[in-house]
Copies of this chain bind each other. A is one copy, B any other.
């Protein structure tokens, strides 16, 4: 296999895609993405057969990277501690990777995202979902777990947005966001 399809190149295309859509929006051009990745326009398509495929893959990869942060966070301590660590890990990632977080937000609302990708995103996040459901059980009246999670989700996103926008006050926002979330599920 001469010149094997390199993971490096694949990753650099994904990184370029992320950077360019943050800069130019989802209407960013495959040509621009390729240029940013330092490859020829045609080469992009040997790695991703379609622009939609690239966008979906980027979503999945970023979502995976984001949730990888949770790995260690959910073990040890009581539930509030677990949630606190999860929250910190999660929002910390977003603050440290503002561009990736923004790209994720753009992709989430894109009409190019397939159901498959959306489902993947939900599955990646399920452990936290379960932990929250557990803690909220019997507390919030009339609230379904799905809705509860949706609330938590948007609160976390808003928190990360703010952390990314005002890095020097990031920790404050992080903690305030956690308090808000905790109040919701209590």
Q: Taking beta carbons and an 8 Å cutoff, which residues of A are in contact with B?
A: 24-27, 105-106, 109-111, 140-143, 147, 150-151, 153-155, 157-159, 161-162, 172-173, 175-177, 179-180, 183-184, 186
B105–A140 CB distance below 8 A:
no
A111–B151 CB distance below 8 A:
no
Main secondary structure of the interface of A (DSSP, over half): helix
Q: How many angstroms between the C-alpha atoms of A161 and B26 in the bound complex?
A: 23
A180–B154 CB distance below 8 A:
no
B151–A155 CB distance below 8 A:
yes
A162–B180 CB distance below 8 A:
no
* Given A140-B176, A184-B183, also A158-B162 (CB < 8 A): no
